[in-house]
Amino acid sequence: MNIQFVDLKRQYLLHKSGIDRAISEVINETAFISGKYASKFEEEFSQLYGANYCVTTANGTDSLYIIMKSLGIGPGDEVVTVCNSWISSSETISQTGATPIFVDIDQNYFSIDENQIESKINNKTKALLVVHLHGQVCQMDLIKKIADKHNLHLVEDCAQSHFSEFSGTKAGLFGIAGSFSFYPGKNLGAYGDAGAIITNNESLALECRRFANHGSLVKHNHVIEGINSRMDGIQANILKYKLKYIEEWTEKRIEIAKQYTSRLKSIPQVQCPIIRPKSKHSFHVYQIEVEKRQDLQEFLKLKGIPTTLHYPTPLPFLPCYNHLKYTSYDFPVVFEKSTKILSIPIFPELKNSELDHIVNSIESFYERKSKA
């Protein structure tokens, strides 16, 4: 058996006629950048999400950058964020000229430890950027209280949490703005780079749209200098087609995660993901914590099962932050956890036979180990 970590081809083949039609429609109308198809997607995405405004962008990294620039974050400011994420969440803070201030993760959920946030806030702090990693929403009731108390902008990185929920509210709707990525492997994935911003704040939506379009809302009237970050029509129309299936696909992920957990939880060397109470985890990633990780990874590879790490090196320990001289004592939880984590394949089209093979292989690895 040869399983893909995310099998994009399998999904394409199941939806070939719809996707091909979506692409050729755009080509027939030559509506390549922003325009009609991006607007249609914005309308449908914001409606389905329950947000007042959606601004499409070129990718999820830009979405974060555009939000922060439009909030006026810049040199001298600090933005408190989590130490365990994809580089985009700290990279874009630095790109505004502000400084990312990292917070360790909590013991259970791999998201920002809400109890440590306040100790990092000072008079330079302008915003809190939280990341709903793996599809698991952060403890947003407490985090929103902290943001309100200190008068901070609350920004949510939803690149991995499309349609996740906490306490009945969707990820991205707790703060001033939610940032989305539609990178092909994401839960809602384009056929190239694409991103979006959602917000209920009209003036922020306008600022974002202007900044993303060279600082202009009306052609040739550049009120500020901006950037070029727009969604192309082909991506927009593919995403609009895929939007019809996102709820079904999310439920499928949740179902697969349930099966994994029910079958893996009896293995003493494996810790399955813990779902935060009152939340809907959309399982962009199914991550376990394991013993003898490297041996297990190699064993699974021989069985045709790819695995990966989210993430092998926590942000503060990446070479680009060497100058900050962080040590394991600064972020002890993520430091320890990062040696045990392992992400196994999850995508809506994963077959039962593949799931069986993955579970059986993990079981047999530890059975053999205990006999050896």
Ligand X SMILES: *Cc1c(COP(=O)(O)O)cnc(C)c1O
Binding to ligand X, residues 196-215 (CB under 6 A): none
Smallest gap from Cβ 212 to ligand X, in A, equals 13
User: Rounded to the nearest 5°, which phi and psi values hold at 174?
Assistant: -85, -35
- Determine if 189 is a binding residue for ligand X (CB under 6 A): no
Cα of first residue to Cα of last residue in the chain, in angstroms, is 26
Q: Of the candidates 45, 86, 163, 211, which one interacts with ligand X according to CB under 6 A?
A: 86
Strand, coil or helix: 68: helix
Smallest gap from Cβ 132 to ligand X, in A, equals 8
Binding to ligand X, residues 114-153 (CB under 6 A): 131
How many residues line the site for ligand X (CB under 6 A)? 15
Strand, coil or helix: 42: helix
Indicate the residue among 175 and 195 with the shorter CB distance to ligand X: 195
Q: Of the candidates 111, 181, 187, 282, which one interacts with ligand X according to CB under 6 A?
A: 181
Smallest gap from Cβ 159 to ligand X, in A, equals 3
* 215 Rama sector, left if φ>0, alpha if ψ -120 to 50, beta otherwise: left
Q: Order of strands across the sheet with 270-271?
A: 270-271, 286-290, 341-344
> Which pair of structure tokens corresponds to residue 222?
């550049």
Q: Of the candidates 41, 49, 102, 183, which one interacts with ligand X according to CB under 6 A?
A: 183
User: Rounded to the nearest 5°, which phi and psi values hold at 133?
Assistant: -70, 145
Binding to ligand X, residues 22-61 (CB under 6 A): 59-61
Smallest gap from Cβ 64 to ligand X, in A, equals 6
* 253 Rama sector, left if φ>0, alpha if ψ -120 to 50, beta otherwise: alpha
Distances (CA, A) of 27 to 32, 241, 342: 7, 16, 41
Indicate the residue among 44 and 91 with the shorter CB distance to ligand X: 91
Smallest gap from Cβ 193 to ligand X, in A, equals 6
CB 242 within 8 A of CB 48: no
> Which pair of structure tokens corresponds to residue 304?
């045709």
Q: Of the candidates 11, 84, 160, 338, which one interacts with ligand X according to CB under 6 A?
A: 160
CB 299 within 8 A of CB 361: yes
- Determine if 89 is a binding residue for ligand X (CB under 6 A): yes
Indicate the residue among 183 and 366 with the shorter CB distance to ligand X: 183
Smallest gap from Cβ 131 to ligand X, in A, equals 5
Indicate the residue among 139 and 160 with the shorter CB distance to ligand X: 160
Smallest gap from Cβ 161 to ligand X, in A, equals 9
- Determine if 85 is a binding residue for ligand X (CB under 6 A): yes
Q: How far apart are CA 267 and CA 369, in angstroms?
A: 12
Q: How far apart are CA 49 and CA 43, in angstroms?
A: 10
- Determine if 70 is a binding residue for ligand X (CB under 6 A): no
- Residues in touch with ligand X (CB under 6 A): 59-61, 85-86, 88-89, 131, 157, 159-160, 181, 183, 193, 195
